[in-house]
């Protein structure tokens, strides 16, 4: 795959109507039908943020912190893979609402489900699902969450977001671990009394083993397993839980087979050593790991690494939690990224959110507490999100979106490999599964400059880790959209390298 060099007069980059030269790029054809009435391409009208967004930012800043806001969105005008801001700028969205947009903006089937009179009662009041579920709740769970339940996991518990999914998965693992220690018996009276003063044995000194570079959320327990960016953790108390290194693979993989195998072996040995050493301190009740470390920099490991990690967990009687909050829902080309590992013994718990619209976790039956109110909150999720999830799953199956993601992902990866050869001093370490892809830049400043240029030229993108650009488009992102992205990315690289 080759890309023509793009050139543009410097003044045009700062005009009221931002343009860049486009070159036709051949791309494969996906059998997935085109998104209905989707825009042809990105279209930029103003500088970023535009005057209306700037004014709204000033107004919003009187009420809350606005440091993370990119621009204000006209969601009514956004469509398919294109997000439109309040100034009329139209961006190709490859960030996908931080990986949470499943089938694009304003998909007709999603709108149809939300406006269906049969679903009105789900929107008119928000039920306390743990106590007063609607009459058809079991059917809705069966038609959605259980329809794509990970192999070997029989239970599904709904939650609101990724953080509370992981937080409650930790609780389920701790309860399971202590129940094992009591030989299946319920908590003793001493347990019940001591826990009320945060003392053992009712409040046991147990831990969760996590990996450097991991991100599992921003609640208190989750932050003790999050090690991606210091700003997420600073000033917040943390549990004294063990952290072990995650493999740091070298690319291209075929040039570093021996080195990468050795590094994974080292990390597995350290993980097992940590479990053993913690037994006399605060025993490890569970391991949590992402199939691909997302926020931490799109860090990968081989299926063999995860298979052996699962074996270590089983060997030491430790729960194995797979955090699929960002990887779940199809963006890797499989509905669940851990399917690629081909585990003989499935994970004990799989957490989810983002593209799944609702948060929650799947688990084996033994991780369901016997008593009520142990995994509980007022809402236990939101039934309107199950309505959205069902529409997403129907469209995914009907339009063969997993196959589309595999086709588009390969084309996108090939294009990025080609551009890394064209700009070897700028773009490196192309990696990914499906359209869940990242590339690296020499420095954080270079990466941030690229994100800024892409937004200026009509691409909404984001970073991960210190130097990575991450791609997290919706499953309706097709080869033609990938071609548009590669064209703009090529131009932005050319601008950064200069004459």
Residues with catalytic function: 215, 323, 354, 378
CA distance 327 to 392: 16
C-beta of residue 98 within 8 angstroms of C-beta of residue 462: yes
CA distance 404 to 30: 6
Tell the residue number behind the tokens 């892809």, with chain if given: 437
C-beta of residue 463 within 8 angstroms of C-beta of residue 498: no
| One-letter-per-residue 3-state SS of the chain | CCCCCCCCCHHHHHCCCCCCCCCCCCCCCCCCCCCCCCCCCCECCCCCCCHHHHHHHHHHCCCCCCCCCCCCECCCCCEECEEEECCCCEEEECCHHHHCCCCCECCHHHHHHHHCHHHHHHHHCCCCCCCCCCCCHHHHHHHCCHHHCCCCCCEEEEECCHHHHHHHHHHHHHHHHHHHHCCCCCCCHHHHHHHCCCCCCCCCCCEEEEECCCCCCCCHHHHCCCCCCHHHCCCCCCCCCCEECCCCCCCCHHHCHHHHHHHHHHHHHHHHHHHHHHCCCCCEEEEEECCCECCCCCECCCHHHHHHHHHHHHHCCCEEEEECCCCCCCCCCCCCHHHHHCCCCCCCEEEECHHHCCEEEEECHHHCCCCCCCCCCCCCCCHHHHHHHHHHHHHHHHCCHHHHHHHHHHHHHHHHHHHHHHCCCCCEEEEEECCEEEEECCCHHHHHHHHHHHHHCCEECEEECCCEEEECCCCCCCHHHHHHHHHHHHHHHHHHHCC
C-beta of residue 296 within 8 angstroms of C-beta of residue 263: no
């Amino acid at each position: 795959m080759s890309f023509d060099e793009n050139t543009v007069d410097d003044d045009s980059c700062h005009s009221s109507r931002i343009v860049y030269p486009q070159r036709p790029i051949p791309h494969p054809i996906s059998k997935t039908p085109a998104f209905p009435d989707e825009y042809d391409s990105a279209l930029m009208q103003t500088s970023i943020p535009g005057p209306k967004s700037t004014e709204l930012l000033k107004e919003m800043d009187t009420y809350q912190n606005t440091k993370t806001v990119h621009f204000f969105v006209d969601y009514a005008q956004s469509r398919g893979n294109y997000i439109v801001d309040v100034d009329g700028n139209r961006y190709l969205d490859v960030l996908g609402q931080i990986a949470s947009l499943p089938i694009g903006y304003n998909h007709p089937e999603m709108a149809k489900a939300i406006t269906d009179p049969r679903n009105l009662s789900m929107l008119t009041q928000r039920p306390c699902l743990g106590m007063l579920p609607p009459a058809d709740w079991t059917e809705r769970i069966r038609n959605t969450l259980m329809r794509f339940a990970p192999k070997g996991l029989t239970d599904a518990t709904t939650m609101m977001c990724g953080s509370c999914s992981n937080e409650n998965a930790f609780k389920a693992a701790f309860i399971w671990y202590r129940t094992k220690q009591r030989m299946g018996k319920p908590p003793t009276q001493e347990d019940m009394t001591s826990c009320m003063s945060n003392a053992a044995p009712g409040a046991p000194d147990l831990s969760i083993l996590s990996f450097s570079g991991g991100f599992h959320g921003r609640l208190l327990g989750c932050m003790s397993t999050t090690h991606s960016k210091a700003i997420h953790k600073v000033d917040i108390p943390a549990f004294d839980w063990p952290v072990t290194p995650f493999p740091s693979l070298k690319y291209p993989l075929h040039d570093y087979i021996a080195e990468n195998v050795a590094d994974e072996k080292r990390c597995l040995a350290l993980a097992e050593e940590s479990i053993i050493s913690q037994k006399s301190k605060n025993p490890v009740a569970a391991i949590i790991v992402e199939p691909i470390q997302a926020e931490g920099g799109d860090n990968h490991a081989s299926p063999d690494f995860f298979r052996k990690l699962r074996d270590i967990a089983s060997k030491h009687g430790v729960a194995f939690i797979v955090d699929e909050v960002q990887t779940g829902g199809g963006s890797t080309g499989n509905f669940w990224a851990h399917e690629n590992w081909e585990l003989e013994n499935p994970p004990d718990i799989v957490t989810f959110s983002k593209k799944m619209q609702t948060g929650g976790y799947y688990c084996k039956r033994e991780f369901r507490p016997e008593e009520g109110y142990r995994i509980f909150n007022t809402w236990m999720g939101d039934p309107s999100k199950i309505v959205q999830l069902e529409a997403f799953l129907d469209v995914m199956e009907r339009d063969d979106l997993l196959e589309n993601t595999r086709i588009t992902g390969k084309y996108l990866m090939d294009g990025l490999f080609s551009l890394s050869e064209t700009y070897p001093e700028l773009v490196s370490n192309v990696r990914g599964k499906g359209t869940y892809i990242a590339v690296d830049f020499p420095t954080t400043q270079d990466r941030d400059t690229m994100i800024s240029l892409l937004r200026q030229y009509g691409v909404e993108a984001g970073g991960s880790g210190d130097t990575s650009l991450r791609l997290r488009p919706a499953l309706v992102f097709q080869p033609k959209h990938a071609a548009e992205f590669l064209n703009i990315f090529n131009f932005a690289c050319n601008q950064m390298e200069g004459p």
